[in-house]
Amino acid sequence: MVDERTVSPKLLRQFVPFDGLKRENLAALAQKVTLHSLAAGEVLFKQGAVDRRILWLLSGRLEMLQPGQPPRTVSAGTTGAADPLCPGSPRTATVRALETVQYLSIDSELLDVAITWDQTGIYEVTELKQEDEGAGDDWMTTLLTTKAFHRIPPANLQAIFQRLERVPYRAGETVIRQGADGDYFYVIVSGKCLVTRESPLNRTGLKLAELSTGDTFGEEALLADAKRNATVSMLTDGVLMRLGLADFRKLMSEPLLQRVSLERAADIVAHGGQWLDVRMPREYQTHAITGSLNVPLCFIRPKLSTLDRKVPYVVLCDTERRSCAAAFILVELGFEAYVLTGGLNQNPQALRRSA
């Protein structure tokens, strides 16, 4: 059962590795630690369980059962209880409550990133909150718990957050307009945005999506070196963080994009992967890799539900431009995606391959 009470930084100081964090970073991280209770006899986790949480015993007693070893009791308040409970995944022991207990929990990846930044002297977490007390740090947490951000080197992350520019907007304001040049990558700190696209048959704009705190947009035009393919406007008052074109390409896009040769791409597909062609249907019909899937770049986000998160995708187009934009979106949203280096123009023999 989750306890709604706030966990204080002072309380966290009793546990490893919170005891070594800077005061400001610990205060921000404390907001993401949750307090839970467990009744006597209930199992906290079983041996072999895959779990992305880090846990600490706050009160009561637990029994830890490991193969080949006698049962061990962990009591709150003792030296041993200061360390995480059986860290790592999968779990190496089964742990159950000997009496009613309380324990602390936090996402393991979020904690790992926060510790890395703290110990490498990177920005103070509270700097990211700016003046938006109502928004809290949900946008930051969303980014930190995104697997894509874990692939960005700490030094790059430091530079990214130092160079993010805070911009307030009013409801109804246009952030980016379809047909304009790409200039910034955006992160929503607070508020909601509407994404629309005009067409010859719909000049008022077809609604594509609504975005909210923690969502990002604007990368397609920056990666493809193309015009904006949609208009994004504010549905409510809000605050956005934006990163300029040069900084985005150097600090963010390159670490996230995995380029592969045709040979490596074919191997990925042979072992369960899928060719993903992001050109327009007419281009695809003219010449395409047998067995490939066609989802034009402009429809990547609306068509996400048709893609399988368990399948690695090798993304291709004539060059790398559209491929890079599509792969970035997929990786950012938790997919495994690769870019065919040079695209079909430099790999014409790919058209003779079948998936």
Tokens encoding 239: 């605050």
Which architecture, in CATH terms, is 257-352? 3-Layer(aba) Sandwich (3.40)
Which architecture, in CATH terms, is 128-253? Sandwich (2.60)
**pLDDT level of residue 125 (50, 70, 90 thresholds):** very low
Using one digit for the tens of pLDDT, what is the confidence trace for 266-317? 999 999 999 999 998 988 888 889 999 999 988 888 888 999 999 999 999 9
pLDDT at 59: 96
Which of 133-147, 232-246, 291-305 has the least mean pLDDT?
133-147
pLDDT at 48: 94
**pLDDT level of residue 116 (50, 70, 90 thresholds):** low
Distance CA 162, CA 174 (A): 25
153 compared with 142, residue with greater pLDDT: 153
Contact of 319 with 226, CB cutoff 8 Å:
no
Q: How far apart are the first and last CA of the chain?
A: 48
pLDDT higher than 60, residue 135: no
**pLDDT level of residue 134 (50, 70, 90 thresholds):** very low
Residues of the chain with CATH 3.40.250.10: 257-352
Which of 148-152, 161-165, 346-350 has the least mean pLDDT?
148-152
Q: Would the pTM count as exceeding 0.85?
A: no
Give the mean model confidence (pLDDT) for residues 151-173.
84
Distance CA 139, CA 189 (A): 5
pLDDT at 160: 83
Residues of the chain with CATH 2.60.120.10: 2-111, 128-253
Residues whose CB is less than 8 angstroms from the CB of residue 154 and which lie 6 or more positions away in sequence, other chains included = 116, 117, 120, 122
Give the mean model confidence (pLDDT) for residues 119-137.
44
**pLDDT level of residue 147 (50, 70, 90 thresholds):** low
Distance CA 227, CA 230 (A): 9
Q: What percent of the chain has pLDDT over 70?
A: 88
**pLDDT level of residue 47 (50, 70, 90 thresholds):** very high
pLDDT at 45: 96
Distance CA 355, CA 350 (A): 10
Residues whose CB is less than 8 angstroms from the CB of residue 70 and which lie 6 or more positions away in sequence, other chains included = none
Instruction: Give the residues across from 275 on adjacent strands.
Output: 314
Q: Looking at the domain 2-111, which fold is it?
A: Jelly Rolls (2.60.120)
Distance CA 241, CA 166 (A): 5
Contact of 96 with 62, CB cutoff 8 Å:
yes
pLDDT higher than 50, residue 128: no
* Helix, strand or coil, per DSSP, at residue 212: coil
Give the mean model confidence (pLDDT) for residues 41-70.
94
